[in-house]
Amino acid sequence: MKKSRLFIWIIVTAIVTAGITYSIVKPKEVSIAGNGDPFQKLRSTYDILQKGYYKDIDTDKLVEGAIKGMVESLEDPYSVYMDVEQAKSFSENISSSFEGIGAEIQESNGTILIVSPIKGSPAEEVGLKPKDVILKVDKESIEGLSVNEAVMKIRGEKGTKVNLVVKREGVGELNFTITRDTIPLETVYSEVIEDNIGKIQITKFSETTGEELAKSLTDLQEKKVEGLIIDLRQNPGGLMDQALAMSELFVAKGENILQVEYNNGSKEVYKSENEAAIDLPITVLIDGGTASAGEIMAAALHQSAGIPLVGEKTFGKGTVQSAESFKDTSSVKYTTAKWLTPDGTWIHEKGIEPQIKAELPAYANLPFINPEIVLKKGDSKTEVNAAQQMLKALGYEEVSVEGYFDDSTEKAVKDFQKQHKLTVDGKITGETTMKIMELIQSKLQENDTQLEKAISVLKEKM
């Protein structure tokens, strides 16, 4: 019978090695018989701590720590143990409104990053972008935290504020102060735009998204639209069954929507059973914030219905998760399979390339400027550079864009303040900051180059 040795170190003396203090003496040997049960070591460790640890032990916390460690050892950012509070938060995110900043996040290579901000959310309004890496929450580093631990720090009651420090590729560190709000359940928004074209934006895939989409399609058909744009930009995904049902509305009967590959190599192929797919010219908008279920739908509509994709490469999340709940409502969310596009491609960490590439104007990627800070002549910082680029985009051509608040910047700010009837002091803060960002957002909505390209492509098919 094999035996494993556990050593109980008895505190007697202290030594210092490489600046670390240890308390050690010759170890006492304790033998634990093994019987082929892989959990014998775990149970024995539990017994040792219960009997010998110098403080009272919270048994529930000990067990939850063991479960959490077990799941984390998978080294899969999409597999996590969620305690009661975290499981409740996860459930709210896919089934009802919740209070927070409104951004999907994930762990990637030991960091927490933004997958996508939700449409109309505080996260979108302040300018958080897909793949922004979150470094700090309220001045505390989140290095080493799980996704759920990070979520619990970021979420909070409506009206309260949270400060995030993020790192953006090509820009550096950015500081965002965000006021939390209620993130609504509604996930589908539709309207009729130019030349009788219908536009449907899908912001995520929750329990009601399929019903919302069907209603929007009925409304647009009653208005006799002649073409359709489906906007999946900034859609972080959600429920796979919703993506399947929604894709089926556009894919002819018998065509592949999705393939799922399990760890034994077997595959399950999902085919459309829809007798009457939507028969309209369609284009689909995608970008770097289109992820998971959003990518499932984009791939299905392109590969199985011949619908062109317009925009930028998607996020690249090609795995399927399931959640199992315990009696106390805590749960384990874990990866069960890969999902493949209709033609069998695995897009994980690669994304989906659009057939027609289109980028937004450069000012769409400028960071949020905190209205509470004061930018003035002589300052040299990231926020100054962002403000200069915004002023330039708004037509103040004389301003320099070098990150230094010089005479030309002060003059441009004063001209801006005069034009918009603000206090003329040449400083960027408060109402001046908010007005600049408001006008940039309006300009972007009026100059959505990706949408314009999608309309152009659609008209060629109409």
pLDDT tens per residue, range 313-351 = 999 999 999 999 999 999 999 999 999 999 999 999 999
Q: What is the structure's pLDDT at 96?
A: 56
Give the model confidence (pLDDT) of 368-410 as tens digits: 888 889 999 999 988 999 999 999 999 999 999 999 999 999 9
Task: State the maximum Cα–Cα separation within the chain, in Å, rounded to a whole number.
Answer: 87
Residue 82 or 24, more confident = 82
CATH 1.10.101.10 maps onto the chain at 374-446
Strands (E), 245-330: 256-261, 267-271, 282-286, 309-311, 319-325
- Whether the CB-CB separation of 289 and 130 falls below 8 Å is answered with yes
Question: CA angle 129-130-136, nearest 5°?
Answer: 70
CATH 2.30.42.10 maps onto the chain at 97-183
Residues ≥6 apart with Cβ < 8 Å to 160: 179, 180
Residues identified as active-site: 292, 317, 321
Q: What is the structure's pLDDT at 13?
A: 31
User: Is pLDDT of 95 > 80?
Assistant: no
| φ/ψ of residue 47, rounded to 5 | -65, -40
- Whether the CB-CB separation of 130 and 141 falls below 8 Å is answered with no
- Report, at the CATH architecture level, how domain 188-361 is classified: Alpha-Beta Complex (3.90)
Q: What is the structure's pLDDT at 293?
A: 96
Q: Which two tokens stand for residue 244?
A: 């399947």
| φ/ψ of residue 437, rounded to 5 | -70, -35
What distance in Å separates the CA atoms of residue 258 and residue 273, rounded to the nearest whole number?
Answer: 13
State the pLDDT confidence band at 3, using cuts at 50, 70 and 90. very low
Which of 2-6, 81-85, 227-231 is predicted with the least confidence, judged by mean pLDDT? Answer: 2-6
Which of 88-92, 148-152, 168-172, 225-229 is predicted with the least confidence, judged by mean pLDDT? Answer: 88-92
Amino acid residing at 73:
S
CATH 3.90.226.10 maps onto the chain at 188-361
What distance in Å separates the CA atoms of residue 179 and residue 121, rounded to the nearest whole number?
Answer: 10
Q: Which two tokens stand for residue 350?
A: 């690669």
- Range 436-444 average pLDDT: 91
For the chain, give the percent of residues with pLDDT over 90. Answer: 67
- Range 242-253 average pLDDT: 96
How is domain 374-446 classified at the CATH fold level?
Muramoyl-pentapeptide Carboxypeptidase; domain 1 (1.10.101)
Question: What is the β-pairing status of strands 188-193 and 256-261?
Answer: unpaired
Q: Which two tokens stand for residue 30?
A: 């304790």
Count CB atoms within 10 A of the CB of residue 263. 9
Q: What is the structure's pLDDT at 29?
A: 55
User: Is pLDDT of 94 > 90?
Assistant: no
Range 97-183 classified under CATH 2.60.40.10: no
> Residue 404 carries which DSSP code?
B
- Whether the CB-CB separation of 190 and 216 falls below 8 Å is answered with yes
